[in-house]
Homo-oligomer: A and B are copies of this chain.
Amino acid sequence: MTFTEQHERRIPQRTIPRLSHYYRALLESREVQLISSETIAELTGYTAAQVRRDLAYFGQFGTPGRGYSVEDLKKVLLQILGIDHQWNVALIGMGNLGLALLRYRGFHEQGFNIIAGFDNDPRKVGQMIEGVKVHQMDELAEYAKRDQIRMAVVTVPASAAQAVVDQLVGVGVKAILNFAPVRLQVPGGVKIHNIDLAIELERLSFLAIHK
Contact = CB atoms under 8 A, between A and B. Distances in A.
A169 to B, nearest CB: 13
A1 interface: no
A60 B149 CA distance: 49
Nearest to A15: B206
B193 A200 contact: yes
A63 interface: no
Contacts of A193: 200, 203-204, 207
Contacts of A191: 204, 207-208
B210 A107 contact: no
A202 B110 contact: yes
Interface string A5-29: 1010001000011011100100000
A81 interface: yes
Interface stretch (A32-40, A67-75, A174-182): A174-182
A199 B21 contact: yes
Contacts of A196: 17, 20
10 contacts: A5-B210, A7-B210, A17-B196, A45-B183, A96-B99, A96-B100, A100-B100, A151-B205, A193-B200, A195-B195
